[in-house]
Chain A
């Protein structure tokens, strides 16, 4: 069963991350790296994303015309920071994994649409 983790956080957390000392940041990277290493057998493709100010959004209007604008599509304080695919037996296993995520914030877990659905 395949799920996707959407790693989310707040703007404050993002700022704190950007203002973190090099040392603190690499310590956190190391923790996250360990987490990925521990679960490597279950982890599929994924990436950390560049900060939201680098985002560009294309939104289709009611008339079908695409409108391009600067910034992320979600308004408000939540930010998607990255994603990864996860391959496990069921929701319980994926929840156990998510609960050990070292970088805190919020994780949205979505089952991936299968071929038979």
Chain B
């Protein structure tokens, strides 16, 4: 486990880690799906791959990354499997077969998407879906998942063991959903990827380098899905959404790591080529003529990305897009965001009325109070505005948001 949970600090170790991460990402999912295919047991296959990755984490930083890392990992995994399973009659023949097939089992067929559908099965809890996908498809270690979600390693490990056992005990199949099922199941996968992305994107502070960037891994997984399902527009929409968010990453923090919100961001820092890529993805998705919530969300972010300033943003278009989004996926959080756009079109009083209507549902959501506070201040209800900002501060765990709200309280 050496180094598994350590956050690297020097550029040299960061570079090594970046190389390791790239290799793990490329190989872990292939290896897991190959073993799963051969052994037919998710629990065993996933655990063996994790063991192999931990061996690599100990040895590669010292010995260097092998020329054919996939083959190296396969060899370690096969040894592990032989040690652990050869006494079990159920696996003996399968292990022999695996030995004979050699490395070709890593490449053909590439069914990492099937693996993702299994990890994101609706019979598993969302947190288990996220954890399993990160481990089995992206090659995260348990320690890295714990670090990313600010949870204890023991708790994450226990959750994953339970989820893997459920896959086996309840016989969750290793198969691609087809027909009508594909839509629902793809929705699960995309929800997992979006949660992963948000967790990475929103929790990053801009100053501390972390060993693995969840947002980057989520985008990588989404690219994988778009490659496997080129006829599906929603994965393209989600990827566009991620690109458009990431394009603004540079402008989100001051040099000291203070959060800067959209109205005050220096738009010259936005990555124009990434914005262009995001917009091209939206167009590619639109050409498939099946609109969906991720495409609409991406279109909203694109409106911001294309605007020269907060004030000259096409707010009318954004309100229309929010209405469309609400018709597809009604949610109080979407209504809250719509209210922010409505403020620009119809003024703070109308927006505040909209926000107030959400007080029951969003009372525990910090951004509800933060936004309400801004509107109250604008309408000169200073005391109420401060109370709202304070409530928002109490409700967020995110350091950057905490410091932003604290500054606000000083200024208001």
Contact = CB atoms under 8 A, between A and B. Distances in A.
Interface stretch (A16-24, A39-47, A75-83, A88-96): A88-96
A90 B172 contact: yes
Contacts of B123: 91, 95
Interface string B157-179: 00000000000011111010100
A102 B67 CA distance: 58
B169 A90 contact: no
Contacts of A111: 169-171
A54 interface: no
B169 A117 contact: yes
A110 to B, nearest CB: 8
Most chain A CB atoms below 10 A, which of B169, B171, B181 = B171
A91 B171 CA distance: 6
Contact of B173 (A91, A109, A117): A91
A1 interface: yes
Nearest to A114: B169
B47 to A, nearest CB: 18
Contact of A90 (B122, B173, B177): B173
Contacts of B170: 3, 91, 109, 111
Interface string B170-194: 1111010100010000000000000
Contacts, number: 27
A95 B185 CA distance: 13
Most chain A CB atoms below 10 A, which of B122, B169, B177 = B169
Given A91-B123, A95-B123, A1 B169 contact: no
Chain A interface category by residue count? 10 to 19
Contacts of B169: 111, 117
Contacts of A89: 171, 173
Interface residues of B, number: 11
B162 to A, nearest CB: 14
Interface string B116-134: 0000011100000000000
Interface in A63-117: 89-92, 95-96, 109, 111, 117
Contacts of A95: 122-123
A95 B172 CA distance: 10
Nearest to B167: A91
B168 to A, nearest CB: 9
A94 to B, nearest CB: 9
A92 B172 CA distance: 7
B132 to A, nearest CB: 15
Contacts of B177: 92
A111 to B, nearest CB: 5
A42 to B, nearest CB: 14
A92 B169 CA distance: 13
A117 B170 CA distance: 12
A95 B175 CA distance: 14
A42 B123 CA distance: 21
A14 B94 CA distance: 51
A6 to B, nearest CB: 14
Interface in B87-108: none
Contacts of B181: 92, 96
A68 B405 CA distance: 58
B367 to A, nearest CB: 33
Contact of A1 (B121, B122, B171): B171
A117 B168 CA distance: 11
Most chain A CB atoms below 10 A, which of B121, B122, B173, B181 = B173
**When A and B form their complex, which 7 residue pairs have the shortest distance between CB atoms, in order from nearest?**
A90-B173, A90-B171, A111-B170, A1-B171, A91-B172, A91-B170, A92-B173
24 contacts: A1-B171, A89-B171, A89-B173, A90-B171, A90-B172, A90-B173, A90-B175, A91-B121, A91-B123, A91-B170, A91-B171, A91-B172, A91-B173, A92-B172, A92-B173, A92-B175, A92-B177, A92-B181, A95-B122, A95-B123, A96-B181, A109-B170, A111-B170, A111-B171
Given A3-B170, A92-B172, 15 more contacts: A90-B171, A90-B172, A90-B173, A91-B121, A91-B123, A91-B170, A91-B171, A91-B172, A92-B173, A92-B177, A95-B122, A95-B123, A96-B181, A109-B170, A111-B169
